[in-house]
Structures are given as C-alpha cells and as structure tokens.
Amino acid sequence: MNFRMSARTVPSLLLTFVLAFWVSCGNWGWEPVTGDTDPKLNVFGLISTDPSIESFVVVHRTIGLSGPDAIETYDTIWHSDDSYELQLRYESKYVVENATVHVSQGANSWVFTPVTPDPRYTWQISELDLVYKDTTGTFFVLPEQTYTLSISTPDGLTLTGSTRTPPDPVFTHLDALPDTLQLHRNFTIRWKPDPDHNYQITTSGDLYLCGGENEELLLPGDSVWTSQYPWECFENEWDPESAELSIILRAMDENFYGYFYQHQADEFFSFFMGQGGEIPQYGVTGGYGVFGAISRSRITRTAVP
C-alpha cells in the first residue's frame, strides 16, 4: 500500500474564528512577550549510507527574544600593492562555529570539523552555510549500525544523539523493467519489503520530461509503486527525445521520518488546537533538533515521452 502526500487546507470558518478572537481581545490580540530562556543547542545531523550524500551536522544555538540575530564586524583585507580595504562581516548569533563534534560507531570515533561551501566567501557565514563534516576521508557509513553524536561548546552547551541506519533498499524484478521507459505508459517499480522503515521514492531526469518528476512517501511493508502519467502531458510537444531517468528509493530511520513528516503534519493541529507547543527532539537529548539516518538505492533507465 502507498499513498500520495497532499497539501492540507485550512477551513475558512476556523480562520474567521481565530481572527475574531484576536480582535475581541483588544489591542488586535497582540500581547508583549518578555523573558529570555537559557540557550540550548539546536542541531540537524544526517548520517547517510549513500556515498553521493555526505553525512553532516549543522549546529545552531537558541537566542533570546531581544537583541540582534547577527553581529557586524570588519575585516582588514590587504592587497599585494600594500593597499587595503575594510570588509563588512556578518556573524550570525544562531550559528555555532567553534563546537566540538564527535560521531561514533562502536569503538570508532570521528571528529567533524566546520566547513563552508566556498572558502572565498567566509565573510558572511549564515545558518545555511556552516556545516560540520568528516574531512579525513575515513568516515564510511554502514547500514544497520548505531551511530552516536556528541557536541560541546566552549560556553558549556552540550547535546547528545543516537540513530540507527536503515538497511539499504533492494530493488527486485529488475529484469521486468525495460531498459527504455515510455512515460505515457505507466511503469512499475518493485523492491524487497521492509516492515520497519518508511520509504520514499523519487524519479527525475537529467533533462525535463513531462511525467518524469515524481515523489511519493511509502508506508512500512510497501513493495510496489506504479507511476501515473499526468493527463496534461499528452498535450506537451516540447519534450526532448529522451532523458536519463534516475529512480531513487530512500529508507528513513524513525528520527528522520518523525522530524520531516510526522512533526510537519502535527504542526497544523499544534497551531490551531493548542496541542503540542514543544520544540521537536528526534534522537537528541540536551537540546533540540534531529539526528537521523537514511539509506538509498538508485537505478537509471532511458526515458522517452
């Protein structure tokens, strides 16, 4: 069994009720929020068995309700002709640049060090840039193994985490899948069922083909997925003659699935019904965020409209 994710719609009557409630409270419903909580670490850590997706850890901290979220500083840049310029640098108060990050598996342990995508642009480090990775080239993730995370900062913040990598997905009946797929004829993908993990299947081409882009969440125990060619694609006359179609099957551990699917689904009820209000913690203690794992298998086929 599988199902397609669909966007949730908000009933207009409920929105009207919420707005009326705010207005009736006076001052348009706004109330001053005061007080600062003790800072904690907020992390996103991913352990991946797929060599094409590097394992990494993003380390942030919570900040108070008052004050700026970034600090402006200036660096002096000297040139070969002894001239110089002052360059403005923004240091995000969310980003933790000096954390000690350890990832362990059994008796083995690796130090993850901070890395920016391009060292030429370190003048502006944002929460989307700085990540911690293994830079020794010795961290090779294995399926069905437990990995632990340990983070500490010079100002005394700590966080620990644990995740277990899912088994690698196994495609089956590949001899029944043609070398060339005609997208307007639905094709079927099969794999070995896994009763313990949620899967996700995606298809995409190196060139755009109408009907070639798919993404679907699968339930534990599912073992078959069939494409559906959109009706509007029959009217498309601008597709290339062929494309290389990647078919990716991804297995998620309970932490990854809980954070990106269960938690996001619960956001609707938490906002309107008052259920929840807690910052998510999936696989981590001592702070917030998620420490999860994925495994991935991929096959390719030539696709034509």
pLDDT for position 117: 62
Tokens 């420490």 belong to residue: 291
- Beta strands across the sheet bearing 124-125: 70-78, 84-92, 124-125
pLDDT for position 240: 73
Task: Specify whether 202 is located in the same domain as 286.
Answer: no
Q: Is residue 10 part of a domain?
A: no
Task: Specify whether 186 is located in the same domain as 213.
Answer: yes
- Examine the pLDDT at 69 and tell me if it is beyond 80: no
pLDDT digits (tens, 9 = 90+) for 115-128: 876 555 444 444 45
Tokens 């896994």 belong to residue: 194
- Examine the pLDDT at 61 and tell me if it is beyond 60: yes
pLDDT for position 128: 53
Task: Specify whether 163 is located in the same domain as 266.
Answer: yes
Name which of 56-70, 89-103, 146-160 the model is least confident about: 56-70
Q: Is residue 78 part of a domain?
A: no
Q: Is residue 22 part of a domain?
A: no
Contact predicate 60/127, CB 8 Å: yes
> Which residue blocks in the chain are alpha helix, DSSP H?
12-24, 254-257, 263-273
The whole-chain average pLDDT of the chain stands at: 78
Residue closest to 103 by CA, chosen among 69, 54, 70, 68: 54
Q: Is residue 15 part of a domain?
A: no
Residue 99 has φ and ψ, to the nearest 5°, of -80, 155
CA 61, CA 155: separation in Å to the nearest integer? 11
pLDDT for position 45: 94
Tokens 């419903």 belong to residue: 29
Q: Residue 231: give the domain boundaries.
A: 171-252+295-304
Task: Specify whether 161 is located in the same domain as 177.
Answer: no
CA dihedral 214, 219, 220, 221 (to 10 degrees): -80
Task: Specify whether 155 is located in the same domain as 175.
Answer: no
Name which of 23-32, 123-132, 201-210 the model is least confident about: 23-32
**Averaged pLDDT, 27-52:** 72
Task: Specify whether 188 is located in the same domain as 262.
Answer: no
**Averaged pLDDT, 215-243:** 86
**Averaged pLDDT, 130-145:** 93
Residue 213 vs residue 38, higher pLDDT: 213
Helix or strand or coil: residue 188?
strand
Task: Specify whether 184 is located in the same domain as 264.
Answer: no
Q: Is residue 29 part of a domain?
A: no
Q: Is residue 139 part of a domain?
A: yes
Task: Specify whether 46 is located in the same domain as 131.
Answer: yes
Cα three-residue angle 291-293-295, rounded to 5 degrees? 170
Task: Specify whether 118 is located in the same domain as 156.
Answer: yes
Residue closest to 187 by CA, chosen among 171, 198, 199: 171
Q: How many domains does the chain have?
A: 2
Place 57 in a pLDDT band, splitting at 50, 70 and 90: very high
Please report, for the domain that includes residue 198, its CATH number.
2.60.40.10
Q: Is residue 98 part of a domain?
A: yes
**Averaged pLDDT, 204-209:** 90
Residue 229 vs residue 103, higher pLDDT: 103
> Which residue blocks in 60-129 are alpha helix, DSSP H?
none
Cα 206 to chain centroid, rounded:
22
Task: Specify whether 113 is located in the same domain as 46.
Answer: yes
- pTM (predicted TM-score): 0.73
**Averaged pLDDT, 227-239:** 79
Question: What DSSP character marks residue 122?
Answer: T
pLDDT for position 51: 82
Task: Specify whether 113 is located in the same domain as 160.
Answer: yes
Task: Specify whether 50 is located in the same domain as 100.
Answer: yes
Q: Is residue 17 part of a domain?
A: no
DSSP 8-36: ----HHHHHHHHHHHHHTSGGG-------
